Amino acid sequence: MSFFVKLKKILKPNAELMFIDSAWSRKRQQYRKKEGMQERVLNDSSIFTIYKRYFDKSDIEEMFEKYRFKLESFYMGDVFLAVIGENHE
């Protein structure tokens, strides 16, 4: 079950939510792929492989529309994006 489907089940109608994640930007394109497996090294030198997907504004708009969340506010920088939305029924 997707993240947004779970949110719809637990949030009351008109509840606000804030979504913060890594932004897909021109700067990030220099170092990463938009979606795929990435290696992460922790401070203790342990290494993990994770799945990572970066979002751009159109990705967020599509998700919010698909799951009927009203997009209230949107900020996108080179590294992070922040979105405020409302559970709209």
- Residue-wise pLDDT for 1-58, tens only, equals 588 889 888 999 999 999 999 999 999 999 999 999 999 999 999 999 999 999 999 9
pTM of the model: 0.79
Count of structural domains within the chain: 1
> Which whole number is the average pLDDT over 81-88?
93
Closest by CA position to 36, among listed 56, 23, 21, 54: 54
User: What's the start-to-end Cα distance of the chain, in Å?
Assistant: 19
The CATH number for 19's domain is 3.40.50.150
pLDDT computed for residue 44 by the predictor: 97
Band of pLDDT at residue 61, cut at 50, 70 and 90:
very high
Are the CB atoms for 28 and 52 separated by under 8 Å? no
Q: Is the pLDDT confidence value at 84 over 90?
A: yes
- Domain extent at residue 18: 14-87
